[in-house]
Structure 1
Amino acid sequence: MYIETFGRADDRPVLLLHGGGVGGWMWNPTVGHMTTGARFIVPDLPGHDHSADQTYQSHDQTVSELIYLIEKEATTQVAVVGFSLGAQLAVLLASRRPDLVERVAVVSAQAKPSRAPALTLALLAATANLAKHHWFAKQQAKALFVPAGLMTEYLRTSSNLSKETLLAAVGENMRFSPPPEWPYFPGMSLILAGERERDVMQVSAQLLHNALRGSRLAIIDGCGHGIPLQRPRWFAERICAWLREPPV
């Protein structure tokens, strides 16, 4: 996977996992507002933006690649912050390799499988090419709260997203449920969802919170599905405060 890093090599490593249909660039506003010393590791997930030549296969395959990435880039345990699709990956990563993950922030992760995913995926397959049209992509960008300053990056990512990656990523997202290891994650966990997201997202946040003793849950007033982009300063301050807390 293509990655970018920000910060000094000896600062604590923080892995940022973007959502489906965007890229590592979605974290630029967050990183720009961060005030705590950290080395941010920001990949473009398979099939997305600069990793578009690598088709998204599955969550399992992507988690395996992220494990390799952590082992290569970090000499200590990492903090993981994931949004949407990336939040599901963060849950899997923390559950399967708690030896690599010191704490995890899960932002807007669907954790309750969707009904009739086959019908939704069939409709998505029929309309997949619309994402390559700028007029359609701009409408999608509004739903994700992509700011004007990142519109070029969004349009580039959207136009390069293959039908195979779109269907695989969305299919995995719709079928996701917390793995059996999640209740045993020993590190710190922060679970966020927006007040104005679909009901399933708040139900999912509660489900993830209920399954993991000691986790923290917050439903953010006025936010939809796009907290890091909708309120980047607030989000960065919240993550900074969380990173400064001593481990459990």
Structure 2
Amino acid sequence: MPYLETGGARIAYTDTGTPTGRPDAPTVVFGHGLLFGGWMFRHQVRTLRGSHRCVTLDWRGQGASPAAGPSDMDTLALDAAAVVEALGSGPVHWVGLSMGGFVGLRLAARRAELLRSLTLLGTSADAEEPAAARQYGRLGAVQRLVGVRPIASRITPLLFGSDADPALVREWLVRLDTADRAGIRAAVRGVAERASVAGELSAIGVPTLIATGDQDRATPPDRARAIHAGIPGSRLAVLEGCGHTSALERPAEVTRLLHAFLHEVDRTSCVRGTVP
């Protein structure tokens, strides 16, 4: 897996390259959720790579990226901006799930010139609730000492809905078992201690799609509705029977939503002769 160097960190990524015969195809960058990696977007990449260049990132200390310094959301937003600039493909479509959405909100509000559109899956613009932040802190400390298996029964309901495929949950656990424990602890702290960006939502002007699972316990649907109310012209979809990890739990539905949205943005850009 290739790496990009930024801010003293090595960020692992995958890149499908531009589709055959489409050298000017737009780029989609995927930012994953906490305790996952870029692999969680495999279904969406499989479909979209025929029309778009698809890039997935692994945040510091997660997936194939080694731990390196802080993992707070502002630092990760700087990492993401550096990666987008290094791609050299102009404004990109940003797709972020949970942690990836926290980063996407910051990019869209502060570095709008880097984005063509913004898609937020299972995301919140608010700071973590104090009780939840304390719970995440405790779970992160235990995970750092003994790994994820002993606390899996407490984490799984936060990440997956009741109808999630058991094989998917088992795969996630196997992947997480091999993760850098110190890196995961830092990532958990970064999420638990993040600041609110609700006051920055009105500054977001790129086309925005928001989707949430109606069973999402980590970022309940009211968080998505608050983002929808705060970003002018955004659109909202609620996925029934879906938990927090929609890209894997409802891959076909998420891919359909994303495919339609990206192509609409791309068509509008072509008509205007520019990008949003």
TM-score category (smaller protein) = 0.7 to 0.9
The 2-side partners of 1:3 and 1:150 are apart by 23
Residue deviations 1:115-166, cap 9 Å, x none?
2466324422442247735575588567434773795575234432324x33
2:143 partner SS: helix
1:3 partner SS: strand
> Structure 2 vs 1, CA of residues 171 and 125 (structure 1 numbering), >3 Å: closer, same or farther?
closer
The 2-side partners of 1:179 and 1:199 are apart by 17
Residue in 2 that maps onto 1:132: 147
Q: 142-151 or 227-236: which moved more? A: 142-151
Q: For the aligned residues, what is the CA RMSD?
A: 2.8
Residue in 2 that maps onto 1:32: 46
Q: Aligned-pair distance for 1:169?
A: 2.6
2:135 equivalent among 114, 120, 131 = 120
2:214 equivalent among 189, 195, 198 = 195
Equivalent AA in structure 1 for residue 256 of structure 2:
E
1:166 equivalent among 168, 184, 206 = 184
Q: Aligned-pair distance for 1:43?
A: 1.1
> Structure 2 vs 1, CA of residues 169 and 149 (structure 1 numbering), >3 Å: closer, same or farther?
closer
Residue in 1 that maps onto 2:238: 219
In the alignment, is the contact (CA less than 8 A) between 2:27 and 2:52 conserved in 1?
yes
Q: 12-21 or 27-36: which moved more? A: 27-36
The alignment of Structure 1 onto Structure 2 pairs a total of residues equal to 247
Residue in 2 that maps onto 1:8: 18
Within the alignment, does 1:75 sit opposite 2:89 as a pair? yes
Larger relative contact order (CA 8 Å, sep ≥ 6): 1
The 1-side partners of 2:37 and 2:218 are apart by 25
1:234 partner SS: helix
1:79 partner SS: strand
Equivalent AA in structure 2 for residue 37 of structure 1:
S
The 1-side partners of 2:93 and 2:123 are apart by 17
Within the alignment, does 1:63 sit opposite 2:83 as a pair? no
In the alignment, is the contact (CA less than 8 A) between 1:81 and 1:87 conserved in 2?
yes
In the alignment, is the contact (CA less than 8 A) between 1:191 and 1:209 conserved in 2?
yes
Runs of 4+ displaced beyond 6 Å: none
Residue in 2 that maps onto 1:230: 249
1:100 equivalent among 110, 114, 122 = 114
* TM score, norm. by length of structure 1: 0.86
In the alignment, is the contact (CA less than 8 A) between 2:198 and 2:230 conserved in 1?
no
Instruction: State the percentage of identical aligned residues.
Output: 25
Q: Aligned-pair distance for 1:46?
A: 0.6
Residue in 1 that maps onto 2:224: 205
The 1-side partners of 2:54 and 2:187 are apart by 24
